[in-house]
Structure 1
């Protein structure tokens, strides 16, 4: 109750004053006159979802679903299963850059929405389908370390922590919620945590997080964004990921089986015979 004035002020801005496209999709007036940022899925959709939960007004859920659809229709590449960082109304065919953390904000926004969106809402199946398509695209690009690259589709860009943490959380959460199958995605989430844990120091610092990044018009900018343990984008997602992995490995809905490979090297005919036992 003591926060109601602040909630009302912020809610009024989000619902009624933020600049939007004609179809209600929230937009910005920078860097070009009419631009969409995938980051803004997280800046807007969870707020609308929580407004719906707080007030019980369906119009806020409708608005949240509409923004998932509006932003995805312009920024999601269904062939790649990825979101471009941004879209410009005056240059819709501009080059697309698939920045990892922008994809993280997108899937986190949809995950947070599904947590509170009534299951009988007509937009629920569409949001769930969009989240599943995005998770599939992201999962296919996980590196062998369990982490994901700064430019998610470019394996010569550096491995980045904050996006990896968001992906790990969202995939683990989706498994725990039953939105995606544990047999397919459970090990992907666990591999994400294995990689992420290498970035957390004994002092609790989260290393390797890309600093704040604007919507840019060239690939070189993204490749050379510095990382820092002082970049706060990595801390919340790392905590979320760790907590959700604990839930996953203790989830009574399924059993986590640990595969152990033992290799025996047996000389045979002058050559080494490799036998793998599970």
Structure 2
């Protein structure tokens, strides 16, 4: 049974957990996207509480977003927020007591993304040691016959698009920091296989999951693919490509070119599926169906990746401008001083109650205001928008 933590409906009425104020420079910069945007960001961080009591990707995404904003506008309050939270979870000798590598949950790797920038900013070697603790999971994480990481031990033989974002940017960081280029070769190989197994050749879009064993009810018996193109899964996928491209600077140029090619192919497919407002639907390729809706986290993730890809030179400038337009539209539509709306709280495949990956299933999942996955995507997209 999947039980989700409670997320506050309003950041204005939730209990304040910390003092936090953005600098005047940051307030002015973020106000480009609407006066409500910096008010929401400030209030959200003031009331932020861990999503779970152990090392998890939801918290990791928020920390990643806050560090991205810090890199874009230089407001030390953002760095201090992440340092205080992550620093409280990493021991002086580089252990992460609340992280259990033997769970073999690929989601748990994502939070490791923040360790390298904290190490470089602070010079504290405990963060470098914690990268090794984080990587210990990947040393023995189960893999498909193709060599791809299982999504989770409880989802054997399965690849979900989400998992590429959860593990591969961190693995790329670790390859560079520890001078292990073979790890980046492994990352490229995993992306390559997903590009073959989960991509729908008719649209260039990707299905949410793939089951090597073909035993799941949601898996096509011939292809192993699930049936729908879920918006946030596409967001995870294209952000993973853009982030790995950025983080792999100095590594194998042939592998980086392959990642850039996948990024361009994906961006071309997604720009063809924009809604009339320039956003993306919960089920991306079925925008005209009754009940489908423009989903905030997917739209913000895709916007972020389009802008980053253009900044890195892997995508045309026009794609970056489409991403900027999507960010502006999302801020106007979904962001108020109290909340970020339009975010699907969670979606997955299998488990209990069984999630069959159908159109009706994705439309049945609850919309959750202020869900951390949406807020993180907002911060990441704002960080890229500020660079344009």
Pairwise CA distance, 1:82: 0.9
Pairwise CA distance, 1:86: 0.3
2:298 is aligned to 163
Structure 2 vs 1, CA of residues 44 and 95 (structure 1 numbering), >3 Å: closer, same or farther? Answer: closer
Residue pair 1:143, 1:149 contacting (<8 A) in 2 also: yes
The structure with more radius of gyration? 1
2:196 is aligned to 73
RMSD: 1.9
Q: Between Structure 1 and Structure 2, which shows a larger proportion of strand residues?
A: 1
Q: Between Structure 1 and Structure 2, which shows a larger proportion of helix residues?
A: 2
3-state DSSP class of the match of 2:386?
helix
1:151 is aligned to 283
1:131 and 2:266 correspond? no
1:112 and 2:243 correspond? yes
Q: Structure 1, residues 71-95: CA drift from partner, whole Å, max 9, x if none?
A: 2221122331211000111223455
* Long gaps (5+) in structure 2: 1-124, 215-222, 350-354
Residue pair 1:199, 1:206 contacting (<8 A) in 2 also: no
1:49 is aligned to 172
Which consecutive aligned stretches of 4+ in structure 1 deviate over 6 angstroms post-superposition? none
Structure 2 vs 1, CA of residues 225 and 236 (structure 1 numbering), >3 Å: closer, same or farther? Answer: same
TM-score scaled by length of structure 1 = 0.82
1:97 and 2:232 correspond? no
Residue pair 1:49, 1:60 contacting (<8 A) in 2 also: yes
Q: Structure 1, residues 161-217: CA drift from partner, whole Å, max 9, x if none?
A: 0010001111011111111111x3243123212221124434152111110211232
Structure 2 vs 1, CA of residues 185 and 39 (structure 1 numbering), >3 Å: closer, same or farther? Answer: same
| Alpha-carbon distance in 1 for matches of 2:198, 2:151 | 14
Residue pair 2:296, 2:334 contacting (<8 A) in 1 also: no
| Pairing partner for 2:378 from 219, 238, 259 | 238
1:265 is aligned to none
Which deviates more, 22-31 or 188-197?
22-31
1:22 is aligned to 145
1:141 and 2:278 correspond? no
| Alpha-carbon distance in 2 for matches of 1:121, 1:12 | 27
Residue pair 1:171, 1:185 contacting (<8 A) in 2 also: yes
Residue pair 2:242, 2:309 contacting (<8 A) in 1 also: yes
2:332 is aligned to 198
2:315 is aligned to 180
Residue pair 1:32, 1:88 contacting (<8 A) in 2 also: no
3-state DSSP class of the match of 2:210?
strand
Residue pair 1:75, 1:83 contacting (<8 A) in 2 also: yes
| Alpha-carbon distance in 2 for matches of 1:200, 1:80 | 28
| Alpha-carbon distance in 2 for matches of 1:87, 1:73 | 11
1:210 is aligned to 344
